[in-house]
């Protein structure tokens, strides 16, 4: 059974849940998510009972100290003082999901890409819907910046934390243009 260290933090966009393995950040989740949104937590509100602390081969240990480096960088991001994260990630998914998530990590701060752009980046130009599903399964919000992916017509679409949250993150990064701001 693998132990994941967990912590909750307050942020400019609301409460966040973090989980890390010995190898890096495994999950960064919003407290409020859309119905059906995937979560690593047994109880998405973090109100788990002792018997719920184990799920999917994980044992959760509430341990804010090991997560402090992650919290510090996230606080710097929300304060507008950080554009890139330097802590390690422990991404877990299918080969296709991992390829999509790596393509998301390549999107520079303050810029956006379309689902079609990401599909081309992973070598499968017709897979824009599959890219959308990989984004939906992204376990590390904000750091793996699926909020930087927009529709081909330039509008905001699909985000696990909701479109208002996506808009706030893009505004923070200065990525909203005339089309996106509407």
Return the CATH number at 9. Answer: 3.30.160
pTM to 2 decimal places: 0.86
Q: Helix, strand, or coil here: 42?
A: coil
Largest CA distance in the chain: 50
To the nearest 10 degrees (0 to 180), the angle between helices 128-136 and 95-105 is 90
Residue 48: inside a domain, yes or no? yes
Residue 31: inside a domain, yes or no? yes
| In a shared domain, residues 60 and 114 | no
Q: How confident is residue 50, by pLDDT bands cut at 50, 70 and 90? A: very low
Our answer to whether residue 157 is catalytic in this structure is no
- Tell me the average pLDDT of the chain: 87
Q: What is the pLDDT of residues 98-120, one digit of tens each?
A: 999 999 999 999 999 999 999 99
pLDDT at residue number 49: 45
Strand ranges inside the chain, DSSP E: 2-9, 16-20, 25-30, 54-55, 58-62, 113-114, 149-150
Residue 84: inside a domain, yes or no? no
Is residue 119 within 8 Å of 131, Cβ to Cβ? Answer: yes
Residues 146, 150, 156, 165: which is the catalytic one?
Answer: 146
| In a shared domain, residues 109 and 143 | yes
CATH label of the domain that carries residue 166: 1.10.10.10
Is residue 71 within 8 Å of 9, Cβ to Cβ? Answer: yes
């Amino acid at each position: 059974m693998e132990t994941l260290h967990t912590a909750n933090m307050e942020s400019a966009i609301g409460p966040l849940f973090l989980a890390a393995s010995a190898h890096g950040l495994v999950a960064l989740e919003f407290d409020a998510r859309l119905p059906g949104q995937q979560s690593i937590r047994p109880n998405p509100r973090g109100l788990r009972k002792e018997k719920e602390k184990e799920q999917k081969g994980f044992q959760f240990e509430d341990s804010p100290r090991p997560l402090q480096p992650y919290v510090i960088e996230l606080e710097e991001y929300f304060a507008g003082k950080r554009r890139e994260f330097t802590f390690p990630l422990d991404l877990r998914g299918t080969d296709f999901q991992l390829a999509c998530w790596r393509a998301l990590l390549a999107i520079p701060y303050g810029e956006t890409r379309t689902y079609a752009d990401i599909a081309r980046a992973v070598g499968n130009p017709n897979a824009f819907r599959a890219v959308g599903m990989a984004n939906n399964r992204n376990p590390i919000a904000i750091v793996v910046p699926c909020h930087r992916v927009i529709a081909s017509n330039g509008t905001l679409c699909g985000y696990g934390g909701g479109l208002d949250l996506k808009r706030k993150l893009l505004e923070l990064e200065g990525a909203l243009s005339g089309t996106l701001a509407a």
